[in-house]
Chains A and B, each alone.
Chain A
Amino acid sequence: MQNRKPLLLDGAMGTELQRRGARPGRLPELLNLTDPALIEDIHRDYVAAGSRVIYANTFGVNELRYAASGHTVEELVAAAIRIAKRAAGAQARVALDMGPLGAMLEPLGELTFETAYDLFAQVAEAGARAGADLIVIETMTDLYEARAALLAAKEKTSLPMYVTMSFDASGRTFTGCTPSAMARTLSGLGADAVGVNCSLGPRELLPLIREIRQNTRLPVIAKPNAGLPDPADGHYSLSAADFARDMQALAEAGAEILGGCCGTGPDYIRALGDIALPAPLDAYEPRSFLCTPTRPLPIDGVKVIGERINPTGKKRFQQALLENDLDYIVDVAVRQMDAGADILDVNVGYPGIDEKIMLPRVVKAIQAAVDLPLQIDTTDPGALEAALRVYNGKAAVNSVTGKEESLCRVLPLVKKYGAAVVGLTLDENGLPDTAEKRVAIAQKILDRALALGIPREDVWIDCLTLTVSAQQEQAQETLDAVSIVRREMGLQTLLGVSNISFGLPNRQLITQVFLARALAAGLTLPILNPNQPGIMEVVAASRVLSGEDRQSREYIARLGSAPEAAIQAPGADMTLREAILRGLKSDAARLARQELTSQSELALVEGVLIPALDAVGAEYEAGRVFLPQLLSAAQAAQAVFEVIRESLLQKGEKRVSRGKLILATVQGDIHDIGKNIVKTVLENYGYEVLDLGKDVPPERIAEAAQREGVRLVGLSALMTTTLPAMEKTVRLLRALPQPPAVCVGGAVVTPEYAAAIGADYYARDAREAAVAARKALG
């Protein structure tokens, strides 16, 4: 181990081109065709300086960027690899370089994960065909995009894959991804080395390299900039010697693959030649861990898994699934997050639902709004893979059993996507009735996972809760099994705790006591309903007693302000109308339930709800209340609508609808909060809103209007540049056999313009949109 040397990468291409007088411009990879000698010279200088891996000039090559260039991806990649191989000779390996696509992925932008995958797959295949020795994925700031690229490289080639992301001074990427989330996610997904490029200077990277080192067993890459650029002229601050000095510190922190990014040239690489690596560091911390890009969640104590995203026994949830009502499901997710859940279990299995389509869709929708790691809960391996593909971060899988078929189908997917997995202690013979037999199944699941290369800390065991009123002696067996799995095997333990109390009075008491005993026995991952305060309080108290909640901070935060609830409790004499006017959601819902004992759903809508909303609308128009109050009232009305909906569902009747309409933000426009505000208000006037989203092509809006037979379409546009798209949409709608009325609005739209393009209504704001809807739909 004497004199270990780092693997040297190359330095910058972009700034080096500029230094040599080239103007790389918008499509710098065209130089592979127009000036190959220039590119080759740069490569040769890096090889001469000691680079043992050089990055071919393919950073920005993809179909999206080069479609209009007159050159194909294949052609540009082949030329780049050819040039690099010529320069490398036998001295260096040539990497296909894949940078960001240049368009943002969902949910931030409009590019889908699947499209991003296809774009990267095309480049990766071209690189492999052209003879690249490895693939580097670099300068990524969005973990989702890095995942798409890595998955494409892994599935379309057999080349080694290095992945580096770019971080800023806050220690995160521009999309908020942490080094730990990056390292765990990409290591799990099969990268061969991970690290940091671009970003900042080497000195600023030190804490990032340390964090990555703790979160992966893979070699770590550091390819930073030559310090920071001067804002006045763009020059980078570090000399080659200073750069090399600071890089030595990164090597000592565990980076073994070194190079330079913006502002570095061949001299900088040459200066790295003197760096010696320390003895291999054993800094990796093998611990159970889930994450989203922005929320790393080490399982270092009790973490609550929310169980509410599950249709079993929930009529309203079933209806949402059947109607593809993702807003409802996301709302269930948000409420669990706000109640203190750490992880959300996601189950959408229900007759009539194609889980292969619904599960990934729901995973995407939840991840767009809720920053909690997810546990994918399905018995369908196809749906499991579809969900794991699109999940951004490191997920858990619920579940595998000790059955041969389950082990064979689930564990390979867990391995491929780098997830954690929940093992249920049952097998072909069913659920054993003793703790010892359950532990034996747990051991079998663990052994099979280890054999596939799934790390021990990613195997979690559910010893299964049975209903105590039916099988009383089993409660203790479950607790004993938890204790052995946790204390002797050292694994994380799950239990769905609510099952325990079926069929008994005061269920919550039984559940709470069982939870307390299970936590004492070693339960680390209770699956429960976080919206029940009593149950969450058991967890909070337990965290105090275990010392996990230092100085009882969380406990005090949760329970120390209890008197506030008393202050907020309304007087018994508040009316439903007042609750809506004041925007008090839970009071409005409670009062609506009371009202429904004495009047019909329709009477409540017509007699109380609509007049109350009109009153708020009038106040808003008069400038006495503002947009937030208008929306709060609308949301209180929404809570009432939910009550009405559930009431009708119980009776098996259809929902109250005052008519259906379409809303869309026109093509080219990506800002949709205005449209969403209109949607909130209209829904709470009882209209059924079909929301087509943002950046919607005119053809799609017209097609939807015809298919759904709606009588009103609302369009929003924010920029003068997208007004033509609005005009075209109106034209297409007008040409339909039964043209709907059209209402337009948005920052740049004027009443005159609305009239000129043939719209029926102009709405300045959400309130006016409600007035237009009433005129059009009644």
Chain B
Amino acid sequence: MFPVDEALRYLGAAGDAGDTRRQVEGMAALLEARIAPRYVWRVFDAQTVSDGILLPGADLLLSGSLARRMLAGCRQAALLICTLGAGFDAMLRTWQARDMAGAAVLDACGSAWVETGCDRAEAELAARYPALYLTDRFSPGYGDLPLTLQDDFVLLLDGGRRLGVTVTESHLLLPMKTVTAVIGLADTPQPARIRGCAYCSLSPACALRKGGTPCAK
């Protein structure tokens, strides 16, 4: 199922039942027919240290209080990259040349679609570790988890060879709709949460929050 409501929220048209919903549904069908989200994930052992969470097998420190709080009590953590690939960027370029309204709708659909890919990866991870509990998914750039970690994720997961993903000098991911994330694996249910305005660094300027339609409850 394509997350139409999610795409509507990105467009600032949460809950719309008229033209915009029909446009999103039409574009979602085109997107779904052409592009499947692809992902890779890999599980590493995790240790809590004073300045964050260390993944010794990867020689990587997830620094800061967000990682410490989210991964408290996790013996392992999965790193994840999900992308819609270069095909989405090409499709969006075509639509920008053809019809900017369609392009805006496609852009929102793409954001929702790559999150669906992350959900699928998360489900696959959960199925592989049925005895463990997963934390909320969180990403470099949230809270105090450095954006520079995106470079490490791509290197560690061989994102270039396996997904065609690269990182720019300013630590942004290409292709455009690409997401990196961390998911903790624990023996007990995890109380710490990431979703919601209280944890979001964009909250002060967020139009969704101000409009009373936040992206997560």
* A residues whose Cβ falls under 8 Å from a Cβ of B: 23, 26, 100, 102-104, 107-110, 139, 141-142, 166, 168, 170, 173-176, 198, 229, 231-234, 262, 294, 327, 330-331, 333-334, 338, 368-371, 583, 623, 626-632, 634-635, 667-671, 673, 676-677, 680, 719-722, 747-750, 764-765
Contacts and interface: CB of A to CB of B under 8 A. Distances in A.
Contacts of B97: 327, 330-331, 333-334, 369-370
B161 A369 contact: no
B199 to A, nearest CB: 15
Contacts of B40: 231
Contact of A626 (B20, B41, B89, B168): B20
B43 A233 contact: yes
A583 B101 CA distance: 10
A371 B102 CA distance: 18
A186 B12 CA distance: 46
Contacts of A629: 19-20, 101
Contact of A627 (B94, B104, B163): B104
A175 B36 CA distance: 13
B131 interface: no
A232 B125 CA distance: 9
Interface in B81-128: 85-87, 89-90, 92-94, 96-105, 107, 124, 128
Contacts of B85: 174-176
B105 A669 contact: no
List the 10 shortest-distance A-B pairs measured between CB atoms, nearest first: A174-B164, A668-B170, A631-B101, A626-B13, A369-B97, A175-B86, A750-B205, A628-B101, A632-B101, A680-B100
12 contacts: A142-B86, A175-B87, A231-B41, A294-B87, A294-B90, A627-B11, A627-B12, A628-B101, A629-B101, A667-B170, A668-B168, A750-B204
Contact of B11 (A108, A583, A628, A634): A628
Given A232-B43, A626-B16, 17 more contacts: A103-B166, A107-B93, A108-B86, A108-B174, A168-B38, A174-B86, A174-B164, A176-B86, A231-B40, A369-B94, A369-B97, A370-B97, A626-B20, A629-B101, A631-B101, A667-B170, A677-B100
Interface residues of B, number: 58
Contacts of A108: 86, 89-90, 174-175
B207 interface: yes
Nearest to A632: B101
Nearest to B44: A233
B11 A626 contact: yes
Interface string B181-211: 0000000000000000000011011010001
A673 B103 contact: yes
A628 B105 contact: yes
A702 B174 CA distance: 27
Contact of A234 (B42, B101, B175, B202): B42
B141 interface: yes
Contacts of A623: 211
Contacts of B11: 626-628
Contacts of B12: 626-627
Contacts of A107: 89, 93
A168 B38 CA distance: 10
Chain A interface mostly: loop
Interface string B8-41: 0001110010011001000000000000101011
Contacts of B93: 107, 368-369
A41 to B, nearest CB: 23
A142 to B, nearest CB: 8
A765 B207 CA distance: 10
Contacts of A750: 204-205
Of A107, A173, A330, A673, most buried by chain B (CB within 10 Å of CB) is: A673
Contacts of A330: 97
A442 to B, nearest CB: 37
Contacts of B166: 102-104, 109
Contacts of B41: 231
Interface string B161-178: 111101011111011100
Contacts of B103: 673, 676-677
Contacts of A176: 85-87, 90
Given A627-B11, A673-B103, A719-B141, A26 B86 contact: no
B94 A334 contact: yes
Contacts of B141: 719-720
Contacts of B155: 26
Nearest to A335: B98
A748 B94 contact: no
Given A175-B164, A232-B128, A262-B161, A671 B176 contact: yes
A712 B187 CA distance: 57
Given A108-B175, A628-B104, A720-B141, A635 B99 contact: yes
B94 A371 contact: yes
A555 to B, nearest CB: 23
Contacts of A232: 42-43, 128
A583 B99 CA distance: 11
Contacts of B86: 104, 108, 142, 174-176
A174 B163 contact: yes
A720 B201 contact: yes
Given A234-B42, A632-B101, A669 B164 contact: no
A103 B160 CA distance: 10
Contact of A628 (B23, B124, B160, B170): B23
Contacts of A168: 38
B33 to A, nearest CB: 13
B147 interface: yes
Nearest to B147: A721
A747 to B, nearest CB: 7
A327 B107 CA distance: 20
Contacts of A635: 99-101
